[in-house]
Structure 1
Amino acid sequence: MADTSTPPLKHILSLSGGKDSAALAIYMRDRVPDMEYIFHDTDKELPDTYEYLGRLEAYLGRKIIRTNFGTTFDHLLRTKGGMLPSNHRRWCTEYMKLAPFEAYVGDGPCVNYVGIRADEKRVGYISHKPNIKAVFPFIEDGIDYTGVLDILNRSGLGLPPFMTWGRSRSGCFFCFYQQKIEWVRLRRKYPELYEQAKAYEKPNRTNGNIFYWCNDESLTDLEQPERMAEIERNWEKKQERLKSQPKNVPLISTLGGRAHEAQQESACLICQL
């Protein structure tokens, strides 16, 4: 006789390796005792991300479940004819993040905890599967950017290591949403990863065109010393302009001397939470 019983309700919090999802995991640790923490591993993450997740795992006292997408990025790239993902072709998010999440959840009832803050104007990834209900504890409880920093600092976990050398987001080391200043910093911090990203910029099988991670500039051109210096000068000038025109900047950013986080409306939301 077939089993017609309803599967148990799952409570799932997806971790990106970034500050917001880490803060949410800490915030929810003692509120939902049977929470499942999952990380969708692309195998193209920064070393900093894996190190940060290890520290978070120790704090939570729970195993972070690592999902995978059943193949490799290189294989997916070949199936796409060598066309690199971009903001117009976000197949990396679809295959490497969203599909593993929905496969892990399955068809049983699930509450998905999403780390969008109360001060953000975005929705984030919400599954269209009827068995998955998204909830937003930070929005419900009015926790903003300052509140997230407070949670991380009080826990002793602090910010992800990649933020100390100037990367603003988690996700793959070759993420096309990186600003050019972040590519420069990747080149200086992890030159071997920069070389790996650069190696993907080659003619594709479909039409022979070369796709660049930065859309209009190759990583070979970007890494030229004079070009990197120009990007750094432009970034510093921009920061000076922002400092002279502060608008709604959290007090903790001003006192701490840290540049306030700019909104990244177009980024892969499931990657950067």
Structure 2
Amino acid sequence: MDMSEIRHIVSQFRGCYQLPGNPERDVYLLPLSGGADSTALAIVMKLLYPGIAFEYIFTDTGAEEPEIYATLNELEKFLGKPITRIFGGKGLYELIEAWGGFLPSARDRWCTRALKLEPFREWLTKYAGIQKYMFVGIRADESSRIAFTLDEVTTEMPYIDLGVRREDVFRILQASVGIPRYYSRRVRSGCSCCPFQRRSERAGLLQAKPIEFKRAMSCEKLSPEDAQRHPEVISFSQESGVAPNWMTLPLPAKDRMVGRAGRKDSLSLFADKGVFVGAEFFFDSGLVGDEFIWHQRIVSYSSSLTGIKRQLQDRYKHLLTTFEAFHLDSADEVRQKVRFAIYYVQAPSDVFDPDGPTAPGTYTWHAGESFRQMEHVIGWSKRILHAEGMRQQVAKYEGAKETSWAFEQHESSVAALKAVVGETGQVVDSMWFAAQEPTPDDESELDERFMACPLCQL
């Protein structure tokens, strides 16, 4: 923890903030979500006003990302003061079960109300009749976002006056308590199953924490018709016997759309269905200068090329400020080492259905999209891409000397492909995607219908 660096960052803020009220008689509240904005705000206010006795409060939903608790513990060390932790008695999943499977959504935000606001209001009754100020981390680059309010509480947004933007928040965290690891796949904090997550965030949850994904999936109610449309997919690794960490995604040809159909291992009378898939690769150089990939994964998917490009552009912008969560040292390393690929993949419609649920009687976390559907689409995308990646390995090492490692790689890849008897679909097109550098004013427009309460996600 570099205190001089943290103080230097705070000293560079473009504005100034005047603490309201009378510190001798008023109460100063700083609710924490365990996310980046509220954590950094607690650090900033501690440095700007070291003599003020802020009350730090975290309201637990019982479905938080595990790394949130680690961040709170580190923050307590920095503040030199315990954080009050409130739990309403029942967590999110317990309330869903008690309420007959009623899921929270953009139309009914009962999760924030029942798990955050009501326990917080109850805790606040001990300060009834006292002037209270509550500090929330709405940043200068999202100043149009609505903050939550409470009776007898004045809401303050210091970041607005200070000119603190997203990049400032993560610089503060990098120099102090660190960036929570879940930011490697999420753009905000919240419950692991939060209905306000983007598709790319849910895809990250599926790949990083499949047990938590399955738990969220079990809460959805699908009609028999919708349930049978998205069966679980046998992975290429399971069928070929190749360990998952030895699997590779195919690399597009340089600087152009490939525009070719991949081989199909079986024939079908059913028409193909397709989807655009985006993936990320982290490249590095070995001791002898050979380039190698040390991280690769599917970021998300979309029914349109424009949609997947937008998701990858947002992903790039996120990586530039949260590089520490990926074991990188700077935003420049992101620019140098991270590349994005886009594929259009297809498989016969009797086994692959990328479309969302439509039948009456289906209730999901996200309208028109289910966790089971995502598991199905990502599963098939991986199967198709891993098969094509194996074919690339075969072609790459064709003709290698029998005594070489390359020959062994070729033979094992051939054997893996022969072991797979089921459908593997095809990669119709692939390309590298060059993300654009974001500008200081390149903040996405916020739609309040799809943003959770700041008490959850700041």
Q: Provide the residue aligned with 2:90 in structure 1.
A: 71
Q: Deviation of residue 34 (structure 1)?
A: 0.6
The answer to which of 109-118 and 212-221 deviates more is 212-221
Is there any run of 5+ residues in structure 1 with no aligned partner, and where?
A: 1-6, 251-259
The answer on whether the counterparts of 1:52 and 1:161 sit within 8 Å (CA) in structure 2 is no
Report the count of equivalent residues. 245
Length-normalised TM-score, structure 1: 0.79
Asked whether 1:138 is paired with 2:172, we answer no
Length-normalised TM-score, structure 2: 0.49
Asked whether 1:19 is paired with 2:36, we answer yes
Q: Provide the residue aligned with 2:175 in structure 1.
A: 154
Q: Secondary structure at the match of 1:223?
A: helix
CA distance in 2, matches of 1:186, 1:122: 29
- Aligned counterparts, 1:171-190, within 5 A: 171-190=190-209
Q: Deviation of residue 203 (structure 1)?
A: 6.2
1:229–1:85 Cα change, 3 Å: farther
CA deviations 1:183-218 (Å, max 9, x no partner) are 1211111111111111111269xxx93321232122
1:261–1:240 Cα change, 3 Å: farther
- Aligned counterparts, 1:48-87, within 5 A: 48-78=67-97, 80-87=99-106
Asked whether 1:43 is paired with 2:62, we answer yes
Bigger fraction of residues in strand = 2
Q: Provide the residue aligned with 1:4 in structure 2.
A: none
Higher alpha-carbon Rg: 2
The answer on whether the counterparts of 1:17 and 1:53 sit within 8 Å (CA) in structure 2 is yes
Counterpart of 1:217, as a letter, is E
1:190–1:247 Cα change, 3 Å: closer
CA distance in 1, matches of 2:68, 2:111: 18
Q: Provide the residue aligned with 2:296 in structure 1.
A: none
Counterpart of 2:374, as a letter, is L
Q: Secondary structure at the match of 2:141?
A: coil
The answer to which of 119-128 and 217-226 deviates more is 119-128
Is there any run of 5+ residues in structure 2 with no aligned partner, and where?
A: 1-23, 224-359, 385-426
The answer on whether the counterparts of 1:77 and 1:84 sit within 8 Å (CA) in structure 2 is yes
Q: Provide the residue aligned with 2:362 in structure 1.
A: 210
Asked whether 1:111 is paired with 2:133, we answer yes
Q: Deviation of residue 221 (structure 1)?
A: 1.9
1:113–1:120 Cα change, 3 Å: same
How well do the aligned residues superpose, as a CA RMSD in angstroms?
2.9
CA distance in 2, matches of 1:263, 1:48: 28
1:228–1:51 Cα change, 3 Å: farther
CA distance in 2, matches of 1:229, 1:117: 41
Q: Provide the residue aligned with 2:439 in structure 1.
A: 248
CA distance in 2, matches of 1:180, 1:228: 16
Q: Secondary structure at the match of 1:67?
A: strand
**Structure with more relative contact order (C-alpha pairs < 8 Å, separation 6 or more):** 1
Q: Deviation of residue 24 (structure 1)?
A: 0.2
